[in-house]
Structure 1
Amino acid sequence: MLAALLVVVLAGCVSTGPDTEFLQPVHEHKPRSVLIVPVKNETIDVQAPTSVLATLPMVLAERGYYAFPVNTVKTLLENEGYYEAAEVHNAPPEALASMFGADTILYVTIHEWDAKYIILSTTTTVDFEYRLVNHDGTELWHARKSLAYNPNNQNSSGNPLVDLFAMAITAAIERAAPNYLPLTRTANAEAFRNGQRGLPPGPYDPLYIEYYNGLAINE
């Protein structure tokens, strides 16, 4: 029994760190550039893809990757006859990557983009799916992120009547103009910088060399 207990204690003392096995394809290919293609929108809000594209390049740049300018990408794709996001998502990755000289392609699908109004509360929800594919068509990374925002989840003033009036006004404002952009920016940042499921540092991140040196030591 003492020997068995010693084995358990020693095993518990071993620090395995976060599980990065799912990132093995990224580690092998070490991409430098990301081609963000038009976003596939499964909702009825036609402005949703624009908001997503407006926030993605900065998030990827902060993570250490070069992101091709999304407006230039859109223009060049349209010149090649790709006018719809669904067409781009169905196109051969090899053809898209060679068109721009990109290492990888990022496909994003919007599953939910909605503001639900219930009595005195409005909850804004976004749900995005991300796929990073190598220039040869190999999937390197996949993630999905869903976030919700309710402006009434704030501290109470202590006066029930004042709080009720404030909730009604806040809910009406959020319903009329949902706060999508900050929520989208947060969702993208959490998806790519997540310590458990996010992308590793890219080559333009100061932590890039340290990160990959650490992997070599642990192998």
Structure 2
Amino acid sequence: MKTLKLCLVFVMVALATGCATTGNPNRLDAFHNAAPKSILVVPPVNMSTDVQGTTSLLATLPFYLAEKGYYVFPVNTVKTLLEYEGYYEPAEAHAAPPEQLANLFKADSILYVTIHEWTSKYMLLTTTTEVDFEYRIVNADGAELWAARQRMTYTPDNNSTGNPLADLIVMAVTAAAERAAPNYLPLTRQANAAVFYGVNGLPPGPYSPTHEQYYKGLNAAQ
């Protein structure tokens, strides 16, 4: 079932507009050397005006990281403990010394995510929903291991009926519906899938069935 869900997500990625950097075989050297087993996901910093962005993005991250083979600390527990330690706002947790956060949870690495866009732009006959996320994983000592940025946009398709007036009405209704209930969560899942599984995605973690083969291949290539 999980495999089927991932396949569906990848199909949706292909149908959406995204952007990412080109592959660089050396960019993962630090990650390979650190070989983290666990990832602490701190609440994302939200630069948009939609207050739901942080919670929605945070809820979608563990699935993909776990599928890649990493232990992910329960995000709700992490949020509660961070607040207990005085980190009530995501920006405060992002500004805290990584060593302090890692030691608090005994984590090998920390994932920071910034939401740059979480918007739905309405233009009468069309509505474009956009998400733009920046990801960064650091080691327990604060050294950067991996970074990426992913943007996704979605504009509902309107199939022509052959009747110009009817088409205009359909377009207006579809745009209004997307504005009322933006397609944020599917876009968020697509962005996560693209960034973790794409050209510059994360290597398989220690709990992935492909982990041993992946690192054997690295050693053989050296």
User: In the alignment, which residue of structure 2 is the partner of 1:87?
Assistant: 92
Which residue number corresponds to residue 23 of structure 1? 28
35, 55, 59: which is aligned to 1:54? 59
Give the one of 110, 125, 145 matched to 2:150: 145
Residue 38 of structure 2 is aligned to residue 33 of structure 1: yes
| Matched residue, 1:209 | 212
What is the CA–CA distance in structure 2 between the aligned matches of 1:168 and 1:140, rounded to whole Å?
46
Aligned to 1:126: 131
Cα shift at 1:154: 4.7
Q: How far is the alpha carbon of 1:97 from its aligned partner? A: 0.3
2:112 to 90, 107, 111: 107
Q: Which residue identity lines up with residue 39 of structure 1 in the other structure? A: P
The yes-or-no answer on 1:199 pairing with 2:202 is yes
Correspondence 1:161-172 to 2 at 5 A: 161-172=165-176
Cα separation, 1, equivalents of 2:161 and 2:83: 53
Q: Give the deviation of 1:206 after TM superposition.
A: 1.1
C-alpha distance in 2 between matches for 1:198 and 1:206: 17
Residue identity opposite 2:155 in structure 1? N
Residue 38 of structure 1 deviates from its aligned partner by 1.0
Query: Distance between the aligned counterparts of 2:104 and 2:202, measured in 1?
Result: 24
Q: Structure 1 residues 156, 201: CA separation in 2 closer, same or farther (over 3 Å shift)?
A: farther
Greater relative contact order (Cα 8 A, min sep 6): structure 1 or 2? 2
Alignment root-mean-square deviation, CA: 1.1
Deviation, 1:148, is 0.3
- Tell me the matched-pair count: 200
1:190 aligns with 2:214: no
Deviations 1:165-214 (A, max 9, x none): 211111001111111011101111111111x2111111111111111111
* 1:178 and 2:182 matched: yes
Gaps of 5+ in 1: 1-17
Deviation at 1:159, TM superposition (A): 3.5
Q: 2: distance between equivalents of 1:158 and 1:211? A: 53
Query: Is 1:68 paired with 2:60?
Result: no
- State the identity %: 62
Tell me which amino acid in the other structure corresponds to 1:218. Answer: A
**One-letter amino acid of the counterpart of residue 203, structure 1:** P
3-state SS of paired residue (1:21)? coil
Task: Measure, in 1, the Cα distance between the counterparts of 2:68 and 2:166.
Answer: 44
What TM-score do you get using the length of structure 2 for normalisation? 0.87
> C-alpha separation between the residues in 1 aligned to 2:32 and 2:158?
42
2:195 partner letter: A
Q: Name the stretch that deviates more: 202-211 or 132-141.
A: 202-211
2:164 pairs with 1:160:
yes
Report the Cα distance in structure 1 between the residues aligned to 2:32 and 2:63, rounded to whole angstroms: 22
Question: What stretches of structure 2 of length at least 5 have no aligned partner?
Answer: 1-22
SS in 1 for 2:39: strand
SS at match of 1:46: coil
Query: Could you tell me how far apart the structure 1 residues matched to 2:216 and 2:24 are?
Result: 17
